Structure 1
């Protein structure tokens, strides 16, 4: 097993090839693109801001980097990139794109809710669906879906997490469940799937929301990437960069399976009493 300090330079699980990274304009996506370019990958980098994508091209003049401008908040944008995922021989797909519609449920406009669901639910699902058949045919491929620790926050009371937002949280939970189920379906074909769940990260996301988190300890995007690549080596399907004890996550997933296995075709006893009028 490689020393974790060396993961930036090499890694058995992540071998150079062709990678497609969404949300590569900034933050975690940009950090992934820079790390992979340094490791010798050819890259297709997807984002909304061409100038940011061109900066990546200029930063790595010896690398083969193709910038693609697309809005994954629209059907047309998703279809465009899904076509690329289906036609190219991808070794690695990183579904990282995000959108800063972190708003209370009743204040979130319908168009922004739709955009958020497209970017964080529809896009990663359909891009993975487009890339997977080719990876299966080649017997090799890795799909990393970027989620977040808020995926596990659903049961928390409003007193504990007053600033948690329902729709955004739900999209992250979708990514975790999707990644776990995808991994089990695809691993017999030689594929790996990871849900990457960072906590608060020092990116532009919070600034776009008008949130000042300068006083809050935040992980760097580079550290998130390091954890993801190391997590692949460790065989983690769910990678939580800031969680010291992986047994905490194991306990969550074991409890989920116990609840799933605890069902029966008969009505549970607590529901058999007459309903009060």
Structure 2
């Protein structure tokens, strides 16, 4: 792998969770667009398949488990050292189960993969991007970031997972405000149900449910960057619905005062 003094004309993207699904689709699309790649995942054989599928560019496989502190640190060091043009924080895990039955080990893994890793990798990459005058950070969340009160449906429970997705949206929006003046684009990518291995690994059969392809999710994300969207919802036709959510957030934030609200006053 080249060092941080690589030719500034070379575009380099690091994609986590690249061994399948949306991450794999990102790697294939960006590789076809001429990006050199660092592809991160837990399965070396899958990463080596990407190397073979993209013979015309440099593809560097990096085996790491982002569910651990050690894995996050290894990938963060690469994000800090390399001259990344784009970071795609895609790695995911869900552990759908009742909150009261969720083992501490699985809760910790989920928080590492969907909160600690995207936060720390973005932190590691952002300083270099800002120093170079630009870069893109895509943080993959999901529409459940807006669906905490939604009925569970087939899911036995998903509280921690939903909370991590909301964290990613808030982090991305806040980073956009902080880093846009330094030339960075930050996006929260919020797909709905996607035809990948993700739900199968949770023991959920959604084969009968209409699902978007991972390739279409990537298409939406890259087009949303061109449109300047901070939150990309590939399956939501009316973008004004999302705008209304965020305007309502700001209205509530701006409506606070120093006195106790009347509904909390005792008679």
TM-aligned CA deviation for residue 161 of structure 1: 4.6
What is aligned with 2:234?
Answer: 241
What is aligned with 2:6?
Answer: none
The C-alpha deviation readout for 1:85-130, integer Å capped at 9, x for no partner, is 0000000000000114122211211100000000000000000000
What is aligned with 1:116?
Answer: 110
**2:202 paired with 1:186:** no
What is aligned with 1:86?
Answer: 80
Whether the 8 Å CA contact 1:180–1:195 is kept in 2: the answer is yes
TM value normalised by structure 1: 0.91
Whether the 8 Å CA contact 1:183–1:193 is kept in 2: the answer is yes
CA distance in 2, matches of 1:87, 1:104: 40
TM value normalised by structure 2: 0.94
The aligned length equals 258
CA distance in 1, matches of 2:148, 2:92: 20
Gaps of 5+ in 1: 1-14
**2:164 paired with 1:134:** no
CA distance in 2, matches of 1:99, 1:84: 22
TM-aligned CA deviation for residue 235 of structure 1: 0.6
The C-alpha deviation readout for 1:43-62, integer Å capped at 9, x for no partner, is 00000000000000011112
Alignment RMSD (CA, Å) = 1.2
Structure 2 counterpart of 1:21, from 9, 12, 15: 15
CA distance in 2, matches of 1:16, 1:243: 34
TM-aligned CA deviation for residue 162 of structure 1: 6.2
Gaps of 5+ in 2: 1-8
Runs of 4+ in 1 over 4 A off after TM superposition: none
1:252 counterpart SS class? helix
Decide whether aligned partners of structure 1 residues 212 and 162 sit closer, same or farther in structure 2, where only a CA change above 3 A counts.
Answer: closer
What is aligned with 1:174?
Answer: 167
Structure 1 counterpart of 2:254, from 244, 248, 261: 261
2:100 counterpart SS class? coil
